[in-house]
Amino acid sequence: MRKEKFNRLFDFAKKSKIKAGEGREEGLYPFYTSSPVLSKRIDRWQIDEKALVFGTGGKPSIHFAEEKFSTSTDCIIAVKKGNENFNIKYVYYYLFGNIHILERGFKGAGLKHISKKYIKGIEIHLPDLQTQNKIVAVLDKASALLQKREQSLQLLDELLRAQFLEMFGDPVLNPKGWEKKPISTYCKIITGNTPPRSEKSNYDENYMEWIKTNNILEEAIYPSQAEEYLSELGSRKGRIVDKCSVLMACIAGSLSSIGRVALCNRVVAINQQINAIVAKRKYNPIFLYFLLKYSRKYIQSFASKGMKKIITKGELRKIEFIVPPGADQNAFSELFKKLGKLRGSIEEGRLEVEKLFNSLLQRAFNGQLNFDEDTALNTLLAAIDLEKEENDLRDISFVYLRRLLERLNEQAFEDMEQYQKAKHAALQLIKEGKVMQQYEGDKARIKLEMT
């Protein structure tokens, strides 16, 4: 295995002049920002070749781009040097799987940043090209499985949004003419705080979650697990909110972060950058969450115009929202609960695939590059769609065909679904002429062999 400095393998593209706020929900091309999640689009492109995209501010992020794309000003773009023979996506997975390498490069007071100089000096461990390609093939399959689960969750979210708009109309334009009232009319608003840090006894690892704005994620309904906890003493000085409160990010460095919401599914403490909105009457808490979620741009219009974007508690209290009849709100809430069961099942599957993907990353880059063949083959089998007559089996037929046939002949599979997918793959490979059936008279059975 050879080791190469990053700048030996890559050149850097010209820095973008497009601001992050110019990204939209729809557009012709992907638009990368410093966020670890690609959620923006734009109608103009800057780069038309495979590239690595690094977010420079906040926390480490890296993306692999292989179609026309653009980035915001807070990104660094690296493109492969023409005379170097390596798989660029291998380097992406290497850094993604060793994200601590990028974490070490974030320096500075306040909002930390990573520099191009630091990235240039990163040492990449490169096995031979065949091994690189093998690792990329398996990780691509696991990544594709993960993306399918995530797409299923997105489709459910889109269904909920469509149902909301059908029942209530656009909550800002209010085409159905619902009553509108300031949110403080029917809700209590609680602003979080930070118990004194000078008193270490206020903080404890096990007592009370202390939720911050980075726990309010666009792609998640509920707040993520807190990284920091308050002690029993600290919780008495903090601001505690109950289940069914809606948590809103009201202080942020950029306007795009203002108005993010999460539906609280447990008792937590919140910091001063969050306002909790607690329905007292007239609002179903689940309906309230989606009302605020789909009114985000409207909410952002009330933010301060300075460098630091803020919606104060006083300003939030004045914002008017629609108040449809309680029966309609409850009907939407019941629909959410029904779909929530399906969503929970899909999310559980997504977490399992995510564990598999992370396990493969660790196996690939912890010095054991020749990771277990069966683990890799299981990943490739999991991606097979039994409804399709033909699947993409190139990675199996090129690298893992021998092991697939051994396991079929031995019927060595973890469960019936895995066995059915293996048989499905074998039948396709027989049609393609890559596998043949041989009759073993002494054992009175059919054995599969490579042609």
* Structure confidence by residue, pLDDT tens digits, 75-88: 999 999 987 789 99
* For the chain, percent of residues with pLDDT exceeding 90: 57
pLDDT tens sequence across 124-177: 999 888 888 888 888 888 888 888 888 888 889 899 999 999 999 999 999 999
Q: Is the pLDDT of residue 442 over 80?
A: no
Helix (H, G, I), strand (E, B) or coil at 375: helix
Query: Between 375 and 122, where is the model more confident?
Result: 122
Mean pLDDT computed over 187-211:
93
Please, what is the Cα angle at 272 between 271 and 278, to 5 degrees?
A: 80
Confidence of residue 369 (pLDDT cuts 50, 70, 90): very low
Query: Between 372 and 447, where is the model more confident?
Result: 447
Taking CB atoms within 8 Å and a gap of at least 24, the contacts of 124-130 are 124/3, 124/4, 124/5, 124/6, 124/9, 124/91, 124/94, 124/95, 125/1, 125/2, 125/3, 125/94, 125/365, 126/1, 126/2, 126/3, 126/4, 126/86, 126/90, 127/1, 127/369, 129/85, 129/86, 129/87
Q: Is the pLDDT of residue 362 over 90?
A: no
Confidence of residue 370 (pLDDT cuts 50, 70, 90): low
Confidence of residue 232 (pLDDT cuts 50, 70, 90): very high
Confidence of residue 371 (pLDDT cuts 50, 70, 90): low
Confidence of residue 307 (pLDDT cuts 50, 70, 90): low
Whether the CB-CB separation of 254 and 40 falls below 8 Å is answered with no
Listed ranges 32-46, 172-186, 192-206, 412-426; the one with the highest mean pLDDT: 172-186
Q: What is the mean pLDDT of the chain?
A: 90
Mean pLDDT computed over 228-254:
92
Q: What is the C-alpha R_g of the chain? A: 26
Q: Is the pLDDT of residue 292 over 60?
A: yes
Quick one: pLDDT at residue 450? 83
Pairing, β 251-252 against β 203-211: unpaired
Mean pLDDT computed over 210-239:
93
Quick one: pLDDT at residue 199? 93
pLDDT tens sequence across 256-291: 789 999 999 999 999 999 999 999 999 999 999 999
Confidence of residue 351 (pLDDT cuts 50, 70, 90): confident
Mean pLDDT computed over 70-99:
92
**pTM of the complete model:** 0.68
Handedness of CA 411, 416, 421, 423 (dihedral sign): positive
Query: Between 401 and 331, where is the model more confident?
Result: 331
- Which of 317-321, 347-351, 428-432 shows the lowest per-residue confidence on average (mean pLDDT)? 347-351
Query: Between 393 and 369, where is the model more confident?
Result: 393
Q: Is the pLDDT of residue 368 over 60?
A: no
Whether the CB-CB separation of 231 and 218 falls below 8 Å is answered with no
d(CA 213, CA 259): 10
